[in-house]
Amino acid sequence: MITILVDVDDTLVLWQPHAVPDCYDYHNTFWAPNNILIEEIKHHYLENYPNCAIVVWSAGGKDYAQLWADKFFADYRPLGVAKDIDILGLLFEEDIVIDDMAEEMNLYGGRPIVYKPNDLSWRQ
Number of compact structural domains in the chain: 1
User: Which pLDDT does position 51 carry in this prediction?
Assistant: 85
Domain that holds residue 43: 3-123
Distance of CA 94 to the CA centre of its chain: 16
Handedness of CA 54, 55, 60, 62 (dihedral sign): positive
Look up the pTM and report it: 0.78
Q: Are 85 and 109 in contact (CB under 8 A)?
A: no
CATH of residue 90: 3.40.50.1000
Model confidence over 50-107: pLDDT tens digits?
788 999 999 889 999 999 999 999 998 999 999 887 787 787 877 888 888 766 665 4
